[in-house]
Structure 1
Amino acid sequence: MKVTVDEDRCRGHGVCWTICPEVFDLSDDGYAVVQPSEVPAEHEAAVRSAVGTCPEHAITVY
């Protein structure tokens, strides 16, 4: 599974980082970034939860 954050949609709520800090991080400006883009299998459920709870729908998995 790969994951991306649309930087134009992200507003820096940090929900994804709260749910899965192993995959999501916050930039110096407070916006979500993905580290790494290839999600380890043990974090896939948490990433899917972050996708579903992102208030801006800025996260995409493929």
Structure 2
Amino acid sequence: MTRTRSLRIDRIACTGRGLCAELLPELIDLDEWGYPVIEDRAVPERLHTHARRAVGACPRLALRVEGAEP
């Protein structure tokens, strides 16, 4: 059974550096101020590794994947 994973952004912690959009452009766009915008929060199976990489690279720990295996 595959668990559904979704991306979440802590908008308070985010400072709009845009690294997440560079690492995961398939799911994350940037608004006019450089803050991430996620239209579809579901992370497809093929992008799980890329999503984890983007989460790990966030300098403010503002991005996370929910529903991920421990």
RMSD: 0.9
Query: Corresponding residue for 1:19?
Result: 23
Q: Which amino acid aligns with 2:17?
A: H
1:50 to 49, 54, 57: 54
Percentage of identical aligned residues = 35
CA deviations on 1:22-48 (whole Å, 9 max, x unpaired) are 011111221012231011111111110
Structure 2 distance, partners of 1:48, 1:35, is 18
Match of 1:12, SS state, is coil
Aligned residues: 62
Gaps of 5+ in 1: none
CA deviations on 1:2-56 (whole Å, 9 max, x unpaired) are 1111111111111110011001111122101223101111111111000000000
Structure 2 distance, partners of 1:28, 1:41, is 29
Structure showing greater radius of gyration is 2
Gaps of 5+ in 2: none
Report the TM-score when normalising by structure 1: 0.91
